[in-house]
Chains A and B, each alone.
Chain A
């Protein structure tokens, strides 16, 4: 299955991926209309470590996903390898946010859980963060099932 992989060596910490993610999942066709004057809730987060190294983290789509096991409402499932959240079922307990070892499940605007679904449910068709990354620091590729 194709996944998003991080090449932190090339990450510039520009945070374009966060904005492209927020726009892709806004359901709107204009980025200005979607994001101007709003606080963004992206599903990919650019982290900075103590040495100033930056890298963008999003869901690993684990082979054995702990978030799926932890969800008390059965809102998280695995479909063709992609871990998805059914927002109509999420009760907002945020257990999944606590258990994800990568910190990849986050709270959305309304207090429910949200996570990267590889832009499969929006109109992008392929991860918007990867498409917009100026330096190839995140890639979307097939590397086999490692975990």
Chain B
């Protein structure tokens, strides 16, 4: 069935100089030059609204607009719902999507407000006074212990040191390009934070950034070997992902080319299928075995992270993980991004990160095991204020991926699964990968994190807090607006005015 295209290419011909930049830059082949008529023509049905052409058109002659040709309005059967049914009726296939859940579900960050000092408790000016944003992730000692000679025991469990409480979360080499990985690795190392390999292994060129790398072990075990484990600053066991809890991953054979296949340690052109479960993990005891196998393999030098998607029983699950020997729990909320996921799962599975985080922090405190682990939260942390709210809700640090992609040029067109990312991020096509120059990409990531660090300090200063550690779990610094009693109770915060 043919539909009128979703987007329209609007070219202001009186401004178009026929430079054909749009034509050269659109991997979807929307634009072309007609020599007879000396005009630029376009086929908007192929447009994904990535805005590459709009951004590069030197005379601002182009815009892409949402088509107003819609099926008859129906609040129950929306235009999109109907077209999805048509598409499935035609293909019999599962719908695929990428990036995070775009639906208008509640964003609790936006319903939480941050406190500031007035009169009785002085704010701190971050430009004049020292502010500590450094965090250490890992198991903390319950009590002070002394050695036989009475001196303090200063032996700590392995810690991950970050200059600020933000890390770039897992995106595999394969799902994103070599240049995207290079940008993330270089930025993380310049910033003193970490990036995460995702489940695609670690390209040999990036071993040198090991001090700032979290190496992931996922259900497919792609690219996992001793040197890989030892290369990182921490090891992450990926049990689940916010965008697609309960299902695995699938890198199509067409993307498992060259170095991608080599890094994953699979034959070129073969599909890389990560099973939904880890086939050796069916209980917390099994998880404990993997945690300790990985610790054993790396001589107990590295903290082990267990990453799970935020799902209904997240607090109980986290309690189990905190007893499994893991040093850090990473929780990924349902708005987290993905390179490809079944649409129905992405849009309907899992729960938002904010209540999940609050529930986990509370449960671990109630059970007296909060110090067993650090908590990292992800799944749509969009700004410095989201980070501050997350820390006050109980997180030790945040994971960002969509925001990091945006810094590298991503325009959230949500067509990563097509492999034709016009911005050189979610693609393996050499001519497109080239569009992301890591000199530029890494600098933009560094700029973003520098800006956030300044903002985090300003927000902390406003509250009269000079160390991020003093903000962690400090829910008195938060108030809710427009939330129900139940929501406030779960978030553990008071309503504005209380």
Contacts and interface: CB of A to CB of B under 8 A. Distances in A.
A10 B437 contact: yes
Given A14-B24, A19-B17, 20 more contacts: A10-B437, A12-B25, A14-B21, A15-B20, A15-B24, A16-B21, A16-B56, A19-B58, A20-B58, A31-B58, A32-B14, A32-B15, A32-B17, A36-B15, A36-B17, A132-B58, A135-B440, A136-B437, A136-B439, A136-B440
4 pairs of A and B residues whose beta carbons are closest in the complex: A35-B17, A10-B437, A19-B19, A136-B437
A81 interface: no
Given A32-B14, A32-B17, A12 B435 contact: yes
A13 interface: yes
Interface string A1-27: 000000001101111100110010000
19 contacts: A9-B434, A10-B434, A10-B437, A14-B21, A14-B25, A14-B56, A15-B20, A15-B21, A16-B21, A19-B17, A19-B21, A31-B59, A32-B15, A36-B15, A36-B18, A132-B58, A134-B55, A135-B434, A136-B439
B contact patch SS:
loop
Contacts of A23: 58
Nearest to B57: A16
Contacts of B61: 32
Nearest to B22: A14
Nearest to A31: B59
A14 B432 CA distance: 12
Contacts, number: 54
Interface string B383-423: 00000000000000000000000000000000000000000
A89 B367 CA distance: 89
Contacts of A135: 434-435, 437, 440
Interface string A25-52: 0000001100110000000000000001
B24 A32 contact: no
Contacts of B58: 16, 19-20, 23, 31, 132
Contacts of B14: 32, 36
A9 B56 CA distance: 19
B16 interface: yes
Interface in B1-27: 14-21, 24-25
A134 B55 CA distance: 10
A32 B434 CA distance: 29
B447 to A, nearest CB: 15
Contacts of A15: 19-21, 24
Contacts of A31: 17, 58-59
Nearest to A34: B17
Contact of A16 (B15, B19, B431, B440): B19
Contacts of B55: 134
Contacts of B434: 9-10, 12, 135
A32 B59 contact: yes
Q: How big is the B interface, by class?
A: 20 to 34
B39 to A, nearest CB: 11
Contacts of B20: 15
Interface string A52-64: 1000000000000
Nearest to A19: B19
Contacts of B56: 14, 16, 134
B16 A36 contact: yes
B382 to A, nearest CB: 25
B303 to A, nearest CB: 37
B421 to A, nearest CB: 14
Interface string B25-63: 100000000000000000000000000000110110100
Contacts of A9: 434
Nearest to B20: A15
Interface in A50-98: 52
Interface string A126-143: 000000101111000000
Interface in A107-142: 132, 134-137
A20 B19 CA distance: 10
Contacts of A32: 14-15, 17, 59, 61
Nearest to A7: B437
Most B CB atoms within 10 A — which of A12, A13, A19, A132? A12
A128 to B, nearest CB: 11
A50 B14 CA distance: 36
Contacts of A134: 55-56
A14 B53 CA distance: 11
Contacts of B25: 12, 14
Contacts of B19: 15-16, 19, 35
Contacts of B437: 10, 135-137
Nearest to B38: A37
B28 to A, nearest CB: 16
A100 to B, nearest CB: 26
Nearest to B430: A52
A16 B19 CA distance: 8
B338 to A, nearest CB: 27
Contacts of B59: 31-32
A20 B17 CA distance: 12
A31 B19 CA distance: 11
A31 B17 CA distance: 8
Contacts of A19: 17, 19, 21, 58
B438 to A, nearest CB: 9
B24 A13 contact: yes
Contacts of A20: 58
A135 B18 CA distance: 21
A59 to B, nearest CB: 22
